[in-house]
Amino acid sequence: MKTRIKELRARQNLTQADLASMVGVRRETILFLEKGKYNPSLKLAHKVAVALGSTIEEAFIFEEEDLL
């Protein structure tokens, strides 16, 4: 899974800690989300997308192999 969280976060001028605080998770979770290493719940994906003024489809990019 790839994400555009880092890019969208930079656009909003937010730090990882800011975003973590906004969505109620630890900073490391944002770090792993940005690296595409953590597969979030639908609820968290929605919270992150809303916090970044975006949509889930924009923030999270699922590839064919992720959906298998």
Partner 1 sequence: MRKGSSNVDQEWTIMNLKYKAFLALGSLLILAGLLMLMGGWDGGGDSASVLMTIGVVIIAVMALSLWRRGVDIEADERTKKIGAYGLSYSWLLTLVLLFLLFWIDRLALVALTAGDVLLAAILVMTISAKLFQWHLSRKGDVD
Footprint on this chain of partner 1 (rule: CB under 8 A): 18, 20-29, 32, 35, 37-41, 43-44, 47, 51
3-state class (DSSP) for residue 2: strand
Residues 6+ apart with CB under 8 A from 19: 5, 9, 30, 48, 51, 52
What's the min distance (Å) between Cβ of 38 and partner 1? 5
Q: Closest CB to partner 1 among 20 and 49?
A: 20
* Residue 19, both tokens: 């975003």
Q: Closest CB to partner 1 among 4 and 31?
A: 31
What's the min distance (Å) between Cβ of 25 and partner 1? 4
Identify the residue whose tokens are 């597969």.
39
